[in-house]
Structure 1
Amino acid sequence: MDFTISPEIEDLRARIAAFIADNVIPLESDQGAYDGHGNIARDPLEALRAKARSEGLWCLQLRRETGGGGLNKVGMAVCYEEMNRSIFGPVIFNSAAPDDGNMMLLEKVGTDAQKRRWLQPIVEGRVRSSFAMTEPHPGGGSDPSMIRTRAERQGDKYIVTGRKWYITGAEGAQHFVLVARTSDDPKAGLTAMLFDAGQPGWRIERRIGIMGPEEHGGHCELVFDGLEIPAENVLIGEGRGMKATQVRLGPARLTHCMRWLGLAKRCTEIARDYAEKREGFGVRLAERESVRIMLGDLAMAIETGRLLVMKAAWEIDRGSYARKEISMAKIHVANLLHRAADIAIQINGARGYSTDTPLEWIYRYARQARLVDGADEVHKMVLDRVLSEEQNDFWRWDVAGAAEEG
């Protein structure tokens, strides 16, 4: 692939970088800018969202006709990395999970009517959304085929019963994408459908406490006890829920990695800045071989992550599902983020462990990266399955013109 980016993408990257530096990072040291769950509070968020819209930095991941910036996945990789130089960044540009993945799913598979009703309010920032798939044991987690929440067809509607948990952003979300079982068919038993928070027949049982700071709306347990969903709210078609999850979760895993690279780079930045200033026993930390080795190794790991992400983004842009590329990026970058925060805290010492920098925030947040959208072990099994299928072709080079000749 060609690693050059267009002048237009570079312009967006530079404008995002300036926006983050001038408007967002200064808020990180203001305790009044945080909500009760460790994220940016509503008032500063809405003010910055309005500013991002006015500067043409809103929903860059969506098509222009949808109200976005028209970026492809390679362009998103460049811009998302820059957005997450701040812990508050992505949500300001309407590029944070779970809205990000939900919007891309609805844009790709929704009918025109569904886009008007369910997508446009999220694009415009008037409502938030959530994706309800995972369930408590013995229901579906990383394996959607185990989903037990049922949606029984009765005439022109579905009646939903069951339970979901760790549903990101559910508290405060208005629009939901639900994956439920509509038959026992092993391949076509799941269906994705849309519902509104104002509909009766469901409730948030609890907001589940976690060790890290939370996305807006937290991680919730939901109970369905007779929710009625009109058949017109089915996405793609009955029995095509697995297709909907594939469309949504593959790119969403990669966008997580794009954002996490920004946080990993921020950790390195904070560590290097402190090492340049801090002296001990007459020597600056930056001059100590042990510190230089840690930072050099971290710089290489970040660049490795960027290459993996870019390869996966490039594959998606040219029409591939990029299964193995996304899994490799997800494993590497998830572990990298935790390591970057750990190294930065170690170099900063007690300062890194305090709330004087965002390092402790990133450290607590980072542990979930190895779990969300598939644990490390699941993705490694995916890679082994692909390796078994492809054998030595796992590492093949694509040859220019080969597809046309074939």
Structure 2
Amino acid sequence: MIDFSLPPEVEATRARIRDFVEQRLIPLESDPASFDEHENITPELLGRMRAQAKAEGLWALGMPKERGGGGYPMTALAAFYEEMNRSIFGPVVFHGAAPDDGNMRVLNMVGTEAQKTRWLQPIIDGEVQSSFAMTEPDGCGSDPSMTYTKAERKGNDRWVISGRKHYITGAGTSKHFILMARTGEDDRTGLTAFLFHADQPGWKIIRRIPIMGPEEHGGHCELEFDGLEVTDDNILMGVGDGLRVTQIRLGPARLTHCMRWTGMGRRALEIAMAHIEQRRSFGTRLVEKEAVQQMVGQAAMELEIGRLLTMRAAWLLDQGSLARKEVSMAKIVVADALQKAVDTSLQLLGAKGYSKDTPVEWMYRYARQARLVDGASEVHRMVLANFLRRQGKDFFAWGTNRG
């Protein structure tokens, strides 16, 4: 039997997140003092709201309970993260924002107990911020095999790393890093994931790269490595397992993006609906005009399709599947649905939507990145085409054995 309802505990937690967002976060968005110079929530305000989220038991909900998290599966997170991102401040307040969310998940899945104590626990506790350093100038983006940053063996227990990374989210304020570097020539077994602390010598931030949209805390930075030393005990999984680390991390991370984006899309439509219900033009309210109904109906439908694809992929991940093609489907559809919802909202709001009187213009600039981050939509369509070539009719099979 297929049942799309949420278990009672999950539904109760979702409702508490919704109330927190409605009562405590959304009101902050209309106050310019809530924003820092990079259009994100100010660090001081973030600290206060995070303390409240912790006190309410709504903190790091995907992490194990014994480490201070909620211990919830991906299907529950799909509902939670959607509610969180009905506020543009939501995900970071509840500790469900990228890149910490993805870094915590991969460290919890594959880290040794010593690595979890040193590298994971401070992130869960909110004591440090983390970054995932993979993308390179003229090198890897969607294709990790194009990693040119090198790690060379020094002595019996350490590696020396040299190279460049760019668009590294959060790097300006991060303390814990997962760094992808080449340790061999083979594209599948020649990459290794290293853990390092910001205070270690041998690396620097070249610049904080200006971007079109609002920024996460710490921005998107270009990094240079020139003699960074990392010991063997700070290798994640093993030498040559870097590609596996990226696969384990990036699939679920792409899906948590989708979870958050559906919430942002919903909020954009909520703002639009409130406007068109009361705005009158040429004798009737906007909501009564057929052309307007076509716009909001289409945007709502596309969001709902994305929500279903996201929940399907989350369920497969909970069953132990990599859900590669389901995650790719969700990533494509939800990225488009988010942009559709925000663009529709802005159009219906008119000048009010283009101004900073609502968060819709913020969302509009943010939404454009959705078709690029964690793999461009064209790359994910290529992934789906390759699955179809290999699987034929089985591409459309039901159940968990879907690749």
In the alignment, is residue 162 of structure 1 matched against residue 158 of structure 2?
no
Query: How many angstroms does 1:266 deviate by?
Result: 0.3
Task: Provide the C-alpha distance between the structure 1 equivalents of 2:67 and 2:380, rounded to a whole number of angstroms.
Answer: 32
**Matched residues in 2 for 1:331 and 1:118: separation?**
32
State TM-score, norm by structure 2.
0.98
Residue 326 of structure 1 corresponds to 327
TM-score (norm 1): 0.97
Residue 66 of structure 1 deviates from its aligned partner by: 2.2
Instruction: Confirm or deny: 8 A CA contact 2:135 2:141 kept in the other structure.
Output: yes
For residues 308-351 of structure 1, the C-alpha deviation after alignment (integer angstroms, 9 at most, x for no partner) is 00110011111110011000000000111111111001100100
1:365 maps to which residue? Answer: 366
- Look up the SS of the partner of 2:304 in the other structure: helix
User: Equivalent residue for 2:140?
Assistant: 140
Asked whether 1:197 is paired with 2:198, we answer yes
What do residues 144-166 of structure 1 show as CA deviations (whole Å, max 9, x unaligned)? 00100001111211100000000
| Counterpart position of 1:37 | 38
What's the CA shift string for 1:82-121, capped at 9, x where partnerless? 0000001000011100000000010001101101100110
Larger mean Cα displacement after TM superposition, 59-68 or 163-172: 59-68
Give the equivalent residue in structure 2 for 1:150.
Answer: 150
Partner of 2:217, secondary structure, is coil
CA distance in 1, matches of 2:204, 2:254: 28
Tell me what 2:54 maps to: 53
Could you tell me how far 1:222 is from its partner in structure 2?
0.2
How many residues are paired up? Answer: 400
Cα RMSD between the aligned structures? 1.1
Residue aligned with 2:121, SS: helix
Paired residues for 1:264-279 under 5 Å: 264-279=265-280
Alignment of 1:7-406 (within 5 A): 7-137=8-138, 139-155=139-155, 156-398=157-399
Sequence identity percentage: 60
C-alpha distance in structure 1 between counterparts of 2:260 and 2:186, whole Å: 37
* Aligned AA (1:77): A
Whole-Å Cα distance in 1 between the matches of residues 292 and 243 of structure 2? 47
TM-superposed CA distance for 1:396, in Å, is 1.3
Q: Distance in 1 between matches of 2:396 and 2:167?
A: 36
SS in 1 for 2:240: coil
Q: Is the 8 A contact 1:66 1:107 kept in 2?
A: no
Are the counterparts in 1 of residues 183 and 191 from structure 2 also a CA contact under 8 Å? yes
* Structure 1 runs of 4+ with >2 Å offset: none
Shift of 1:50: 0.2
Determine helix, strand or coil for the equivalent of 1:56.
coil
Q: How far off is 1:187 after superposition?
A: 1.8
CA distance in 2, matches of 1:322, 1:82: 23
Alpha-carbon offset, residue 186 of structure 1: 2.6
Which structure 2 segments of 5+ residues have no match?
none
Matching residue's letter, 1:99: D
